[in-house]
Amino acid sequence: MSHDPNCLFCRIAAGEIPAQKVYEDDELIAFKDIRPAAPVHLLIIPRQHITGLGDVTAEHEALLGRMMTLAPRLAVEQGATNGFRTVINTGPDGGQEVYHLHLHVMGGPRPWKHG
């Protein structure tokens, strides 16, 4: 499994940098975003260093499937019971800031929309 010692998310996966983890197994880690854009804002990352969605191949199909099936379960567990959104930013024009594949899972109650 590849690891980039200069990558923030590889360092989180290796336990070198703390994160508020909500899930982890041999292939994936999920943790709370440090700059949340919603009441529930998680990142799901593979332990394997993959730069971005543009770099995935057929060998990553099962991994991507696991990320996508984990997202709804974690969203609900973390309080996004009325819906959520998923986003994968890819490359500079796609808004990617950390060049390690990651799936944003965002949702939760939005009190500013009611009233």
Question: How many angstroms separate the CA atoms of 79 and 108, rounded?
Answer: 6
pLDDT more than 70, % of the chain = 94
Q: What is the pLDDT of residues 27-78, one digit of tens each?
A: 999 999 999 999 999 999 999 999 999 999 999 999 999 999 999 999 999 9
Which residues carry out catalysis?
102
pLDDT at position 112 over 60? no
Please give the residue that has the higher pLDDT: either 73 or 108: 73
As a CATH number, domain 8-113 is: 3.30.428.10
Find out whether 28 and 70 touch, Cβ atoms under 8 Å: yes
Task: Report pTM.
Answer: 0.93
The residue whose two tokens read 């940098």 is 17
In terms of C-beta density within 10 A (0-12 exposed, 13-18 middle, 19 or more buried), how is residue 72 classed? middle
Domain ranges of the chain: 8-113
pLDDT, position 5: 86
Residues pairing with 21 in the sheet? 31
Question: How many angstroms separate the CA atoms of 112 and 32, rounded?
Answer: 21
| Secondary structure (3-state) at 108 | coil
Six-digit token pair at 93?
């024009």
Angle (CA) 40 42 45, round 5°: 170
pLDDT at position 17 over 90? yes
pLDDT, position 109: 75
